[in-house]
Structure formats: structure tokens, C-alpha cells
Chain A
Amino acid sequence: MSNDSRTLSRRTLLKLMGGVAATGMVAACAPAVAPTTSGGAAAPAQADVTIRFWNVWGAAREELMNQIIARFEEKNPGIKVQNLVQPFERREENLFTALASGDPPEVLMSSRAEVLRFANDGLILPIDGYVTANNLDLSRFYPSEIGNFYWKDKLYSMPMPTGGGVTSLTLVNYDMLRAAGKEDQTPATWTELEEMAKEFTEIDDKGIVKIGATVGTSASDFFAWLYCNGGSIYSDDLSKVAFDSEAGVQTLEWMVNFTNEINGGVQNVTDFFAGPGEATEAQPWYNDAQLINFPNVSIFFHMQTYKPDMQWDMGLRPYNASNADAKSQGLSGETFAWGYVVPEAAPEAKREAAFKWLQEITYEEESGGWFVMQQGRPSPIKAVNEDPSFYEVNPHWDKVLQSLESDVSVQILPVHAQVRDAVNQGVQAAFFGDASPADALAQAAQQAQGIVDDYWSQEG
């Protein structure tokens, strides 16, 4: 069809049109789903169950996943897994529509906030029964990791990869320190961070040339620093928002002052990191233009690719030493922690197989564990991370493990995405000088509390 069509003659058009109808019909007839099949061309008499596995592990990772599937299918004759890799673009719409349709895939990869939402609305199945029946030992996971997938005392997923290690890591470029004739040092407190940042940030008339550090400008950054200042997002019973506490106001004030005084304002920071895009070699971090970085765990793999000879070290996220209650702490599950869920709409006959596959990609060391290890990332399974080969990718691996141990699983509500956006409004207002940090947070808290109250009033 594609080879010879220089000009679309009427005949070719008609042929194409016929092709459309024919392809459409064939596609319509071929059951993409094969419900409790038999009669498929390839499958003989065997009663196969096909699990549609919906995920965003694209590119090189698709191949890794296919290897896991091959092994799984060998172990479990009768179960077929279809690897439905989706583009990351417009992920929410795609996932949400599939799930709301009444005929969703049997296993879906989704973020923690989504998992809680789906669990709350009764859209997905708890896995406690399966876990008990198969004697799964959940203590193999870090408590903060498995803790992310409980809602109202029921477990809905197991983790893979880690949700932690997102906010606790603090990396320092020693090449830059040494070139400037400074001692090797990793900041442990807010004051140390300020001092190091001040020394290395260079600004000219067009903005930042080199940056010591940025404390970030979004709600997620605010939450990360809040937990290093003894604060929390919600009250323990999740009935009240708590980020507008004294610690919260102090945190936001510190962030705004840091950004204005050291980096010349929020726009300078945005501009400095705009351009080449995330995860590319042109980022300042790979070009000796950024001294301190607060990345997530996927950076080790990127550093191996982009700047393997860099001298660096790492510590935990600096805390506010002037606050006696504060300590370094990482958040697990506030933003992205990936889980895998089985929809309530999955037919009985497929559920057992779906749970089995869920177990394979999360719980099994040689599958779920192996998958993240291949990417140089830590696993939520503690034992996997003890493999010495991690040190080849990352000489400071012990500190990654330390950070994972220090992580807390933040308790969040199913309406957290909305709460986070409300906080983001306040954080932005403070950074752009529309309101003082205290006023901005008070405003955001009022907004967020309304969302939380709405949620609880609907729960009855």
C-alpha cells in the first residue's frame, strides 16, 4: 500500500477505503481481549488466561519486562501476559478512561495517589486475602515502601520501584569544590547549605551562570523541606491540614529568602534549568554548573551515562538545625510511588492470575527486584539492595540505603492531588511576592482544608 502510491488515483483511494473497512472489520472480529478464551487460532485446547498488563515502562525497559514475562509464563503455564506499554504522555486520561470503562486491563500500573483514590472508590481489589493465602512476607519491603499502598487498613498493591529516595538524596559535585580549592563537604543543615550555595552561585545581567543550589520552587519541594523542619502535611488522623504550622511558615520563608537572596529570585532559577529538558546531558549538573543537587534515585544511572568520571559524594537532605525537633527525613509516596492494581471489574476467573503477576513484578527478587537493579536503582525489597554490584554503579550506595531507611511514608488522602495544587498556589504566590509566606500558606491552608472537609463529609 505504501510503496507505490505516488499519486493517489481514485482507484487507489477506493482500494484504501476498502482496506479501511476490511481492516476495521478484521480488527473488530479479533477479540483483543479473548475473554476466558478458546477458539483463538494459536491456542490449542488449553484454558489460557490472558492478563493485560498496562504500564509505562517504555524503551529499553520494555525489553527487560518482556524477559520477566517470558520467565513468568514458563513458570505458570496457562497464564499469558500481554505487555501493554503506554506512552507517558497523557497517562492520566488514558489510564482513567481504561479503568472507568467497565472492561479494564487486569493489572494497571498507577501512582500512589491514584491507588488510594481507586481504593477509596471501590474500583480496585485489596490483595490481603491473596497475601495471606500465599504466605507472603511483607517485611521484606522497607516499611515506608509497603506502607504507601495501604488504605483504611487494607493493602492494594506492592511497590516497584521505590517511592522513596525521591527527596532525601543530597549530591555534591566534588570536582567543583576541589577546583575552587575548597574542602570536601556535604551540607547537613540549612545553614551549611546556604553557605555553600552562596559561595558558588554566579549571577550576571542575564541571570544565573552557575548555581550553588536551589531549594526548589514547587509544592513538592516545600513538602520535602517541611519534613526536614519537623513539620507535616496533615494531622495524624488526616482530618486537618498541618502544613501552615509555625514550622511550615518558617520553611516557606526560608525557601523564599534563599531563592531571592542567593539565586536572585524564582525566575532566575526557572530560567537556569529551562532549555535542554530533564534527564539530558546539557543539564547544569553534568556540566560543573551546579554544586548541590537534590535528585531522585534514577540519577545514578544517568550519571553513569553522562559523566561517569565525576567526583561526588552524597548525604541526606539538610535539616533546620535551629529547630530542636527537626532531622533529615525523606518522603516516600508524596508524589510518585508506583504500584500495580487489579480492578474490581476484572473477571473472577482472571483475578488469581492477575495477583500472581502482581506478585511477580513486585515481590519476587529475581523479577521485580532484578528489573530495577538493571536500571541501577534501589529496590523496595531490602535484600536486593545488598547486592555488591550496586557499588559498581554507585560508590556511595550505602548512603542510598541509609536514605531509604530514613524515609517516611507520608499519609495522604485520596484527594491529595488537589490539596497539593492548592499548596502550590500558595507557594507560587509567596515566591512571586503576591503575598507573604505566612499569608500565602494561610490562604492555601484554608483552601486545602475545604477540600479535606469535603472529602470527610462525603465519607460520612
Chain B
Amino acid sequence: MAVRNPKMKLAGHGLLHLVLIAGSTLMLIPLIWTVSTSLKTPQQVAIWPPEWIPDPVMWSNYVEVFRMAPVMLWLRNSLVLVAADVIGSVVTCSFVAYGFARVKFPGRDALFLLLLSTLMVPYVVRLIPLYVIYNQIGWINTFLPVTVPHLLGRNPFFIFLLRQFFMGIPDELSDAARIDGCSEFGIWWRIVMPLSKPALAAVAIFAFRDSWDNFLAPLVYMAGRPDLRPLAVGLYTLRGGAGQLPDTHYLMALSTLMILPMLIIFAAGQRYFIQGVTLSGIKG
């Protein structure tokens, strides 16, 4: 960071790049693998050890997979889940997190521990009681069990994450705004939210990934409605099982298509990690 000698700096950078490139190779394997398999015929998929570059390259898999499976329907359903999760996480979770981070009220610490503790109860023992609740209020086989809790900011992970960031924002800022007549809600929306873009971007990226990849909840709560299945569940129907031959090439093609939006969201969110937030004027 503070290396003065330009030569040393250059050498340091070179070394860094070397380390990073070595790591990158490892990290790229799953992706290259997925893409390469998506371009194979079933016969090529079965060749072991596998070939990195298929011959011939089966671009048609990407067309076929749409004919094989109701991909557009799955996509629509996935978008519904993703929208609920992202909105819930960015808006509701940050709203709740503000309460935990910057408003003092009796019972706050205890409630926060309660919030954290909900993360520690394994889903296995919650699945059936939760199903019973959803069933009683008529939510089974609808999107509601996988959207409403998210819209209500049910994700303690994000609340915790945002709380950590909000606590790091200097008090002087909100004090100043308060003096100007800003309500707590105004401070949250006008001051804390804009200052927390990196954290919010991270939350949006995670929320997108989580709901895009969420398998178990949609599987169980919407088991009776195959037409409400999201991509993550649909993908598994290409997997095989029970003595059925897997359609690995289609599975990988669809996986590749599923990776793309996540990368786009990531690229969009990344902006906020680079630009940085200048808190200088405040800290003085």
C-alpha cells in the first residue's frame, strides 16, 4: 500500500498478479467445465477422462434445451422469487437493520440475539411445522411461502450484514440531519442508504444468487404445482435418478444460462466496490 520505491512496487505488483492468476485458474475450472460439457453430445459427455474442448461443438444444445423443458416458464417463476428476495433484502432488511444499528430502544440487544439465533435452528426440524402453518393459511402450492417472508425481511443474514455497516457510519452525519429536521426514516432513506451502497450491492448480489439457486423451499412448498417451478428446481428434473439416464449436456447448458444473469448482476454491483464511498468530509 505504501511502498515508495517504484521498482519494488512494480515487482510487488508482478508477484500479486502471479498469485492472482494462479488462483484464477483454479477458480475458473468449474465454469470452463460447465460450459464445455454444455457443448457436448451425450456420447462426448461420457468420455472419461473428459475432453476440455468438444468436437464437434454442439451449439444446438442451447436451442434443444428450450424444446426439452419449459425453460421460459421456469424463468418467469424464478424472476418472481428473485424480485421478492432482492426487494425484501435491499429495502426491508436494511430498514430493519437500521433499527438494530442506530436506534436505541429497550430490548434491542436481546431481540438482535433472537434474530441471530433463528439462523442456528436447522431447517430440518422447521420444515414440517412451517409446512403446517403455510398449509393452514392456504399458501401451499403458491408463491407466497417463498416470497412473503422475504418481502418481510426474514433474512437475518442480510439484517446482520447491513447492521454491521450501518454501525460504522459516523453519528455526526445523522445528528446533523436530525438538527435539520429529518426524521429517523428520512435519515435511513436519505443518508444511511446512499452511504451504504457497497453493502447494499453485496446484499442484492447475495439475495439474487440465493433465490436464483434456491431449491428446497420451492420444491417442497410448491410440489403440487409443477407450473410454478423455478429454474433451480427445473434443473434437477434433467438430472436423472431412479434408473433414468441423465441429460447432463442439457443440464450443463441450462446451468450456463443460469450463471449468466448472476454474472451480470455481479458486474453491475461491482461498480460500488470500485468507486468506494468517500467519508472524508465527515471524519475530518
Residues of A within 8 A of B (CB): 1-2, 7, 13, 16-17, 19-20, 23-24, 27-28, 32-33, 52, 54, 56-61, 82, 84-90, 93-94, 96-98, 100-103, 105, 275-277, 279-282, 296, 298, 302, 305-306
For residue B229, give the distance in angstroms from its CB to the closest CB of chain A: 9
Give residues of chain B (198-231) contacting chain A, Cβ–Cβ below 8 Å.
Answer: 215-216, 219-220, 223-226, 228
Q: Is A279 a contact of B233 with CB atoms below 8 Å?
A: no
Binding site of B, secondary structure by majority: helix, strand, loop or mixed? helix
Which residue of A is nearest B234, CB measured? A87
Q: How far, in angstroms, from A88 to B244 measured CA to CA in the complex? A: 10
Chain A residues with Cβ under 8 A from B219's Cβ? Answer: 86-87, 89-90, 94
Chain A residues with Cβ under 8 A from B248's Cβ? Answer: 280
For residue B51, give the distance in angstroms from its CB to the closest CB of chain A: 12
Q: Is A101 a contact of B132 with CB atoms below 8 Å?
A: yes
For residue B52, give the distance in angstroms from its CB to the closest CB of chain A: 16
- What 8 A-B pairs have minimum CB-CB distances, sorted nearest first? A88-B241, A281-B46, A32-B141, A298-B243, A27-B142, A87-B236, A16-B83, A282-B48
Q: Is A23 a contact of B245 with CB atoms below 8 Å?
A: no
Which residue of B is nearest A275, CB measured? B48
| Number of B residues, CB within 8 Å of A | 53
For residue A169, give the distance in angstroms from its CB to the closest CB of chain B: 14
Partner of A2, one of B76, B127, B246: B76
Chain B residues with Cβ under 8 A from A100's Cβ? Answer: 128, 131
Q: How far, in angstroms, from A54 to B223 measured CA to CA in the complex? A: 9
A27-B240 contact, Cβ under 8 Å, with A93-B220, A98-B223, A282-B48? no
A97-B244 contact, Cβ under 8 Å, with A16-B83, A84-B224? no
Q: Is A32 a contact of B224 with CB atoms below 8 Å?
A: yes
Partner of B239, one of A16, A88, A105: A88
Is B47 part of the contact surface with A, judged by Cβ < 8 Å? yes
Q: How far, in angstroms, from A416 to B43 measured CA to CA in the complex? A: 39
Chain B residues with Cβ under 8 A from A17's Cβ? Answer: 83-84, 87
Q: How far, in angstroms, from A99 to B209 measured CA to CA in the complex? A: 30
Q: Is A103 a contact of B140 with CB atoms below 8 Å?
A: yes
Q: Is B223 a contact of A94 with CB atoms below 8 Å?
A: yes
Q: Is B80 a contact of A279 with CB atoms below 8 Å?
A: no
Is B147 part of the contact surface with A, judged by Cβ < 8 Å? yes
For residue B258, give the distance in angstroms from its CB to the closest CB of chain A: 13
Partner of B225, one of A32, A54, A101, A282: A32
Partner of B144, one of A13, A19, A27, A279: A27
Q: Is A32 a contact of B142 with CB atoms below 8 Å?
A: yes
Chain A residues with Cβ under 8 A from B128's Cβ? Answer: 96-97, 100-101
Chain A residues with Cβ under 8 A from B142's Cβ? Answer: 24, 27-28, 32
Q: Is B47 a contact of A59 with CB atoms below 8 Å?
A: no
Chain B residues with Cβ under 8 A from A85's Cβ? Answer: 226, 237
Q: Is A87 a contact of B80 with CB atoms below 8 Å?
A: no
Q: How far, in angstroms, from A94 to B248 measured CA to CA in the complex? A: 23
Which residue of A is nearest B216, CB measured? A90
For residue A347, give the distance in angstroms from its CB to the closest CB of chain B: 15
Q: Is B216 a contact of A28 with CB atoms below 8 Å?
A: no
For residue B9, give the distance in angstroms from its CB to the closest CB of chain A: 37
Partner of B141, one of A1, A33, A90, A282: A33
Is B79 part of the contact surface with A, judged by Cβ < 8 Å? yes
Is B152 part of the contact surface with A, judged by Cβ < 8 Å? no
Is B268 part of the contact surface with A, judged by Cβ < 8 Å? yes
Give residues of chain B (40-55) contacting chain A, Cβ–Cβ below 8 Å.
Answer: 42-43, 45-48
Chain A residues with Cβ under 8 A from B79's Cβ? Answer: 1-2, 16
Q: Is B236 a contact of A94 with CB atoms below 8 Å?
A: no
A58-B131 contact, Cβ under 8 Å, with A20-B84, A276-B48, A277-B246? no
Which residue of A is nearest B81, CB measured? A20
Q: How far, in angstroms, from A277 to B241 measured CA to CA in the complex? A: 11
For residue B251, give the distance in angstroms from its CB to the closest CB of chain A: 11
A19-B239 contact, Cβ under 8 Å, with A33-B141, A59-B244, A282-B48? no
Chain B residues with Cβ under 8 A from A88's Cβ? Answer: 236, 239-242, 244
Q: Is B241 a contact of A87 with CB atoms below 8 Å?
A: yes
Which residue of B is nearest A59, CB measured? B244
